Structure 1
Amino acid sequence: MKTVRRLFQRDIVGAVVFVAVAFLSLFFFIDFVDELGDVRPRGYTLLHAFAYSLLLVPGHLYELAPIAVLIGTIYALARLAQSSEYTILRTGGLGPGRALRLLASLGLGFALLTYLVGDYLAPVSEREAARLQAGAKGAQVVGRSSAWLKDHASTPDGERSYSVNVGATRADATLQDVRIFEFDADGRLLRRVAAARAKVDQGHWRLEDVLVTRWSAGDAAAPAFASEQRLPSLDWPSSLSAGVVAAAVLPLKTMSTVELFRYIGHLADNEQAAQQYEIQFWKRALYPFACLVMVALALPFAYLHARAGGVSLKVFGGIMIGISFVLLNNMASHLGLLRNWTPWIVAAAPSALFLLLSLAAFSWLVRYR
């Protein structure tokens, strides 16, 4: 059994690595060529374009991991079937259940690697790529153009709620065009703080070039009035951490599973819509297990005789299955957001469907072929 396990590990891991390197090389070339149009003698150089394209590689690896596992496993098993090695293994006692367990152990290894790349390496590299591109091109703006956040605080004058608008974030993590609206417990607007720049620190924001506008409701003795005050800087106490702000302004793909979970909690505490982030959270949490589904999809190809098609035809079939999985996975996310479906069901449905198809095909081939 150890010999069979080593044979599977050597052939399948080697094929998966080969397919992954081929895909990543292709995507790196496409990204690099796409960036060549922005290269200038001064500013955004060829080296910047190369580094930016290289920083996108971990994200591509995370997205392509299940497809690479599927194609590589199909290629390795199809070669074993074509050379009749798999038939010999079956004659030697390699039953369907034992073969499925061997592939499942490999699938778990690929799933763990996918999780580590997607949760630790890819988010960091994506953020660095965005900062590198923004800084080198001189745009200085990273991520989305505007974002709204909410905060609450207890003050000596009573409960206060805050609506915070961040215009953009710069490559050096400085926020710009920040507006803070302060409301009392009854929802009356008390103060607006507009700052040209802001830095998020532990427990407070450091605002610069500040314009503070205050409103007074007035009463019978004193009429309502508004006053303005310009300050060079202002410290604003806030529970909004740098991670929460980054989650609001940076693209979703730069967020890890833990960051998504924390940001969903922040949105829930402030009664904000979190459907989009919940779907992304469950997709990130369940996506590595797609590697298990892919090895299960590849196993039926080992039971197809060489007369049923050569290795190239089987690999082509694997590519089509992989593309259909990616399309269904992306389409399910959009449909779930539009129809307000349960997030974990939306994220798990494509993998569950393909797993059922693979097990059905596997059972049919084992029984009738």
Structure 2
Amino acid sequence: MRTVRRLLYRDILGSVLFVSAAFLSLFYFIDFVDELERMSRIGAGAARAALLSLMVLPGHLYELMPIAVLIGSIFSLARMAQSSEFTILRTGGLGPRRALALLATLALGFAALTFVVGDYMAPYFDKQADAMRARLSGNVASGNRGAWLKEHKLVDGKDHSFAINVGQATASGALQDVRIFEFDANGGLVSRIEAKTAKVDGKGQWLLSEVERTDWLAKPAQPVDAKKARRADDALAVTHWRLPSMSWDSSLHAGVVAAALLPTVSMSTIELYRYTEHLSAQEQSAQAQNIAFWRKAFYPFACFVMVALALPFAYLHGRSGGISLKVFGGIMLGISFVLLNNVAGHVGILNNWTPWVVAASPSLAYLGLSLAAFGWLVRYR
């Protein structure tokens, strides 16, 4: 069995690596052309464009991994079926259950690689690429994406709510154009803080710089002539300060703020989980983020589905079609899986379906389809 395992794993790994290299080469060329145009406008040169294109490859690998596993596995197994190698293995005692177990173990390795690339390598290199673009262009901001955050906390024993707007984040992680609005329990505006820049630590301490603060404080009650109308401004005392810096305590630590500023596709699984927990705690809608979290969590296990889809091709007769036709069928299966996965996410958001069900349904559907086809081929072919 060790020899059979070595034969299968070596053949399938070689095919998957070949398919991955082909896809990544294509994406690298496309990214290089785009980056070359951007870098030429700022005089950075082709070497910088080549390096930036290289940095985004882990993200492409994460997206392409299940499809590369499917196409590579189909190519390898179909070739072995056409050359009767798989038939010889079956005659030598490689039963359906054992073949499925061997490929499931290989799929576990692909799933682990997908998880590491998606949660660690791709986010790290994406941040490095953003920092390099910002440094080369002379723009300190890593992007124009802003975010609104919400928080509730007690102030002088009373429940106050805060709405925080962040204009954008710099490549170093500092925040720019920060505005903090404080509201009392009745929804009245209590204070407004505007800061040019801010830094947030891991415990929720905000260090604001170049601050302008405006407070609306209630005046002590005074007798009013009943014949005269009382203006709302007469009951408030407005104070305004300009401060070089100030600190602001919050439960919004650096991880939550960074998650709010990042696109969901660029977040790691743990960042998505923390962000959805924050949204739920603040009674904000988190349906889209919950679906994104479960899709991110289930995505590595798509490798199991892809391997299961490829296994029936090993039980087809060599005369039932060439390898190219089977590979084309595998590509169509992979594309249909990606489309169904995306459509299910959008439909789940619109209909407010259970997030983990929405994320798991495409994989379970294709896994059931592959096992049904595998069982039929083993039984009747």
| C-alpha contact (below 8 Å) 1:206/1:234 kept by paired residues | yes
> Which structure 2 residues correspond to residues 189-338 of structure 1 after superposition, within 5 A?
189-201=189-201, 202-221=203-222, 223-338=235-350
The answer as to whether partners of 2:55 and 2:125 remain within 8 angstroms in 1 is yes
CA 1:276 to 1:142, structure 2 compared with 1: closer, same or farther past 3 Å? farther
In 2, the alpha carbon distance for the partners of 1:203 and 1:347 equals: 32
Instruction: Please report how far the alpha carbon of residue 256 of structure 1 lies from its aligned counterpart in structure 2 after TM superposition.
Output: 0.8
Q: State percent identity of aligned pairs.
A: 61
2:107 is aligned to 107
SS at match of 1:236: strand
Shift in Å, 1:144 = 5.1
Decide which moves more: 322-331 or 283-292: 322-331
| 2:82 match | 82
Letter aligned with residue 194 of structure 2: A
Match of 2:228 in 1: none
Deviation, structure 1 residue 219: 4.9
Q: Distance in 2 between matches of 1:288 and 1:223?
A: 60
Task: Tell me the TM-score normalised to structure 2 length.
Answer: 0.92
Alignment of 1:1-369 (within 5 A): 1-40=1-40, 42=42, 44-143=44-143, 145-156=145-156, 158-201=158-201, 202-221=203-222, 223-369=235-381
Answer with 124-133 or 189-198: which moved more. 124-133
Letter paired with 1:168: Q
Q: Distance in 1 between matches of 2:157 and 2:243?
A: 23
Q: In the TM superposition, what whole-angstrom CA distance separates every residue of 1:87-116 from its partner, at most 9, and x where no partner exists?
A: 111111111111111111111111111111
Deviations 1:287-310, CA, capped at 9 Å, x for gaps? 111100111100111111111111
C-alpha distance in 1 between matches for 2:286 and 2:41? 44
Letter of the 2:341 counterpart: N
2:166 match: secondary structure = strand
Pairwise CA distance, 1:143:
4.4
SS of 2:39's equivalent in the other structure is: coil
* AA of the residue aligned to 2:261: V
1:93 corresponds to which letter in structure 2?
G
8 Å CA contact 1:198, 1:205 repeated in 2: yes
Mark the runs of 5 or more structure 1 residues left unpaired by the alignment: none
Note the aligned Cα RMSD (angstroms). 1.7
Shift of residue 155, structure 1, vs aligned partner = 3.5
Q: Count residues in correspondence.
A: 369
Structure showing greater radius of gyration is: 2
Whole-Å Cα distance in 1 between the matches of residues 157 and 343 of structure 2? 49
SS in 1 for 2:219: coil
Which shifted more, 50-59 or 283-292? 50-59
Distance 1:41 1:270, change over 3 A: closer
Tell me, yes or no, if the aligned pair for 2:74 and 2:310 is still in contact at 8 Å.
yes
Deviates more, 1:157-166 or 1:205-214: 157-166
Contact 1:24 1:57 in 2 (8 A): yes
CA distance in 1, matches of 2:52, 2:253: 28
TM-score normalised by the chain length of structure 1: 0.95
Shift of the alpha carbon at 1:186? Answer: 3.2
Indicate conservation of the 8 Å contact 1:48/1:133, yes or no: no
Task: After superposition, give the CA deviation of every residue in 1:100-147 in whole Å (9 maximum; x if it has no partner).
Answer: 111111111111111111111112122222232233233433345321
Question: Following the alignment from structure 2 to structure 1, what is the Cα–Cα distance between the partners of residues 350 and 142?
Answer: 27
User: Which letter maps to 1:175?
Assistant: L
Q: Mind listing any 5+ residue stretches in structure 2 that lack a counterpart?
A: 223-233
